[in-house]
Structures are given as structure tokens and as C-alpha cells.
Amino acid sequence: MQKTAAVLAVVVMVLAGINYVNAAENSGLLQIEGSTTVGPIADAFAEVFKTKYQNATFTVKKTGSGDGAAALIDGRCDIATMSRFMKAEEIKKAVDKDIFPTIHAVAMDGVAIIVHPSNPVGELTRQQIHDIYVGKITNWKELGGADMPIVPITRDSSSGTFEVFNEKIMNKDKMAANVETVNANPQAQARVKSTEGAIAYVGLAFLEGCKALKIDGIVCTKGTVQQGIYPVSRPLFFFTNGFPEPGTIKFDFCTFHLTEKGQEIIEAKGFVPLTNY
């Protein structure tokens, strides 16, 4: 009888310890920083988790994938949101600081080419888009549109969206001096909505109020991205320092995209879930 009581006491102590650890790990601050493309997913996940974990605080900063990588490397965030893979030099910097970037692919996205809704042009080739951004094509009449100067808009170099566009459309060629730079997807979207001659590139979630052009005959939609036929597609990521401990908020947050609710949110935000229920 005494032996049984002792065993039960040990079990109670172990369970109490586990509950104490979980309570500690499921409170405090979860800092998320990086991509403006992945930002809407992180924001929506955080809103769900604020209700689920009322003792925790969530912050989401959206300044670019490069900033997210730097924040993770410097220990300034728990989760880096990125619309591109980490560069080799970023990984090296991280490892040199005993940070070990671990990848969590959360969704798929397409980089859409957008213009003002009044623009009659409906399709461009990758070469034509390239030539606009290097300054070879400067007027919409050269592409079958109105006699109107083209106003090309790009993202800053810390953007993952810029990295994808630079690689898949620009072939890393230098952009012309007249190309305007904005800091986020919403800014590019707003510039196109207010400027008849503008052209920009944004993630799938930022098409409202703009016209998405076909690229090489294929329009950017969830379906064409999911099928793998849209030419400018990319995965979206969370990066953490090592794999999060199961049972913690960070683990739940980084695996939430695998749940039915998480995938509903991803689809509602205009992206493509990695798994379909």
C-alpha cells in the first residue's frame, strides 16, 4: 500500500512538472517577423492563438523576408516569415551564431503581374515583362495598349517577392533607373490601383482592385499555382531556430498550417494550402 502511494506521489509530481513547463512555455511573448507576403497568414494565425493562449502575447512585424532572416540570426524573433528560401550566406551567419534555421513550408503562392483595371492589355510574355523593367519597352502602345507611359513598380531588395521576380523574370539583370521601389505588397497594389500606366508584381493575396495579366498565356490563380503550371510560383515559409519543442506555442504555431482550420485560413487569405482536406 505504501509502495502504491509512493508511486502515485511520483506520478503526481511528474504531471505537475509537465503542467508547470507547459504553462511557462505557453505564456510570454512570441515574436514573428519578416515577409509582407506571408504577413497576412501570420496575422490570421496570431488572432486565433490570442484566443487559445490568453496568457501569451503575439507580435507580427512585416518588413521583408531579408529582415526576417536577419531577426532570426540576431535572436530578435522566434519565427521568421519568408517568401523565399534562406540564402547560403544567411545560413552561414546563423550557424556562426549557434542559430540553426529550420524550415516549415506553410503554403504556396504565385507572383502576379498587375496593372490598372482600365488597361486593355491582358497578357505579356516573360520577355516583355523583363524588357519593361530594363527600360527597353516604355509605352503601353508597344504592347497593344494605349499611348501611355509605362510606370514600372518594384519591391526593395530585402523582399522575398523581389528575389523570386529577379530570378524568374529578370534573370538578375539590372532594372532601369525609372523603376519605382516600394516597401511592401500593399504599397505596390495601391500604386497600381491609383495609376493607369502602372505595372507591378505582388503575391496572390494582393490582387483586389487590380487586373492580373496572363504570363505566357497563363493567369495567376490558386488553381494554376496548385497545378504547378503558373511560371512564377513559390513556397512560403516559417523559419525557426531548431525544431520547436512539441507542446509549446511555437510548435503549435509552426504546425497550424497542417490543421483544417489553418488551411481554411490560408485559402481565405488568397494562398494555396499544401494539403487539401
Q: pLDDT tens across 133-153, in order?
A: 999 999 999 999 999 999 999
Residue 231, phi then psi, degrees to nearest 5: -70, -15
pLDDT digits (tens, 9 = 90+) for 182-201: 999 999 999 999 999 999 99
Under the banding of pLDDT at 50, 70 and 90, the label for residue 274 is: confident
- The pLDDT mean for the chain works out to 89
Going by C-alpha positions, the residue among 116, 109, 148, 113 that lies closest to residue 127 is 113
pLDDT digits (tens, 9 = 90+) for 209-243: 999 999 999 999 999 998 889 999 999 999 999 99
Q: Is the pLDDT of residue 3 over 80?
A: no
Mean pLDDT of 36-57: 94
d(CA 169, CA 186): 21
**pLDDT attached to residue 15:** 35
**pLDDT attached to residue 17:** 38
CATH 3.40.190.10 domain extents, the chain: 2-108+235-273, 109-233
Q: Is the distance from CB of 162 to CB of 175 less than 8 angstroms?
A: no
- Provide the percentage of residues in the chain whose pLDDT is more than 90: 85
CATH of 2-108+235-273, one of 3.40.50.300, 3.40.190.10, 3.40.605.10, 3.40.50.620: 3.40.190.10
**pLDDT attached to residue 28:** 77
| Triad 200, 201, 205: Cα angle to 5° | 120
| pTM for the whole structure | 0.80
* Buried-state track 24-53, b at ≥16 Cβ within 10 A, e below 16: ebbeeebbbbbbbbbbbbbebbbebbeeeb
**pLDDT attached to residue 158:** 86
CATH H-level superfamily of 109-233? Periplasmic binding protein-like II (3.40.190.10)
d(CA 67, CA 64): 5
**pLDDT attached to residue 276:** 52
pLDDT digits (tens, 9 = 90+) for 17-37: 333 333 334 557 999 999 999
**Three-state SS at 130:** helix
- The sign one gets for the Cα dihedral 13, 15, 18, 23 is negative
**pLDDT attached to residue 170:** 97
End-to-end CA gap in the chain: 51
